[in-house]
């Protein structure tokens, strides 16, 4: 029998990006839940008036063992990475970067951006592919109308639309706009667990109310999800999904590995400016230094039973 409970996670505020930090709301990971499918990290930010906050300025920094997914609601971010990619992150366009064995990148909001608003997501790579070469992909999904909702499917398949962006495990990622008072039932893969991150509006997920910035999580076993907007204005949410990720992971700073020793080696490689991460060109400043590691060994994590 399917578990009908919707688990509601609340975010915590986290400074992002070193000395020029902007504040984000982080819903994954946390003690109650480490992953939704292979989704292992979710930062939600804005709408931030750049004139007051300074916007985003994240100096070159490293990643291993993951893919980053950038999705904006408003504003624009300039992306540079050690693969040589120089791309704009714009609303309604997915930029997916594969870290694998090692990559570095910078993220800076553009001078024309007045309001910065979006999500930054990470996907854990499975053990068989976590040392894959660095890569970068871009896609502009077309909007799909279903009842009183407009969907943009940036990863996986939903409502008959499939993203061409490749992933290493089955995944779902979609932005959903709900008309005032609208309700929509979406067929979903019963093998998936799902998470609905509410950006704005009063939304219910299978009858459970979610406030803005909350993440509603469901277990596998549901062949459909019902989303409703109970407010008189438009609502927006991001739906994430995937089959339960059966591997334990070690997460620290910008790294995902399987052991404490792998994390420590990655930190040492970054501090030594190893070729492992390559070089980001065009960023007007120094790269981010790695923080100090804890003295006790880092422990693997997975979702609580």
pLDDT, tens only, 107-126: 999 999 999 999 999 999 99
* Residue at 291 is within a domain: no
* Residue at 227 is within a domain: yes
- Please give the pLDDT value at position 21: 60
Taking the CA atoms of 121, 124, 125 and 126 in sequence, report the sign of the dihedral they define: negative
Is residue 101 a known part of a binding site?
A: no
Query: How many other CB atoms are there within 10 angstroms of residue 2's CB atom?
Result: 11
**Three-class DSSP category at 111:** coil
* Residue at 265 is within a domain: no
- Specify which residues 103 forms β-bridges with: 63
* pLDDT, mean over the chain: 94
CA dist list (Å): 96 to 79, 121, 154, 239: 11, 9, 10, 17
What is the mean pLDDT of the segment spanning 10-31? 80
- Please give the pLDDT value at position 4: 78
- Please give the pLDDT value at position 17: 55
Is residue 138 a known part of a binding site?
A: no
* Residue at 263 is within a domain: no
The pTM assigned to this predicted structure is 0.95
Count of residues in the chain: 305
Is residue 105 a known part of a binding site?
A: yes
The residue segments making up the domain with residue 225 are 7-242
What is the mean pLDDT of the segment spanning 56-63? 94
- Domains of the chain: total: 1
Is residue 200 a known part of a binding site?
A: no
- Please give the pLDDT value at position 96: 98
Taking the CA atoms of 250, 42, 24 and 74 in sequence, report the sign of the dihedral they define: positive
pLDDT (tens digit per residue) in 226-269:
999 999 999 999 999 999 999 999 999 999 999 999 999 999 99
CATH number at residue 66: 2.60.120.10
* Residue at 190 is within a domain: yes
* Residue at 185 is within a domain: yes
* Residue at 249 is within a domain: no
**Three-class DSSP category at 164:** coil
pLDDT (tens digit per residue) in 160-217:
999 999 999 999 999 999 999 999 999 999 999 999 999 999 999 999 999 999 999 9
| Local confidence band at 44 (pLDDT 50, 70, 90 cut-offs) | very high
């Amino acid at each position: 029998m399917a578990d009908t409970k919707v688990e509601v996670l609340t975010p915590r505020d986290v400074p992002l990006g070193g000395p020029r930090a902007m504040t984000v709301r982080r819903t994954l990971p946390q003690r109650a839940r480490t992953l939704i499918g292979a989704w292992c990290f979710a930062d939600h930010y804005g709408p931030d008036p750049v004139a007051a906050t300074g916007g985003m300025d994240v100096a070159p920094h490293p990643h291993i063992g993951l893919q980053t997914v950038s999705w904006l609601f408003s504003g624009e971010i300039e992306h540079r990475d050690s693969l040589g990619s120089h791309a704009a992150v714009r609303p309604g366009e997915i930029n997916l970067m594969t870290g694998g064995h090692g990559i570095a990148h910078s993220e800076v909001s553009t001078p024309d951006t007045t309001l910065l608003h979006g999500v930054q997501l990470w996907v854990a790579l499975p053990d068989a592919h976590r040392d894959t070469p660095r890569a970068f992909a871009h896609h502009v999904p077309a909007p799909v109308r279903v009842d009183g909702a407009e969907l943009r499917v940036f990863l996986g398949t939903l409502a008959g639309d499939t993203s061409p962006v490749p992933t290493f495990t089955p995944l779902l990622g979609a932005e959903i706009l709900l008309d005032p008072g609208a309700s929509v039932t979406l067929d979903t893969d019963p093998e998936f667990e799902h998470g609905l991150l509410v950006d704005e509006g009063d939304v219910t997920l299978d009858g459970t109310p979610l406030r803005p910035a909350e993440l509603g999580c469901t277990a596998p076993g549901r062949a459909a999800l019902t989303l409703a907007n109970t407010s008189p204005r438009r609502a927006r949410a991001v739906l994430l999904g995937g089959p339960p990720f059966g591997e334990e992971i070690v997460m620290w700073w910008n790294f995902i590995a399987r052991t404490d020793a792998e994390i420590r080696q990655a930190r040492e490689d970054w501090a030594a400016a190893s070729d492992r991460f390559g070089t980001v060109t065009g960023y007007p400043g120094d790269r981010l230094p790695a923080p100090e590691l804890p003295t006790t060994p880092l422990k693997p994590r997975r979702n609580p039973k």
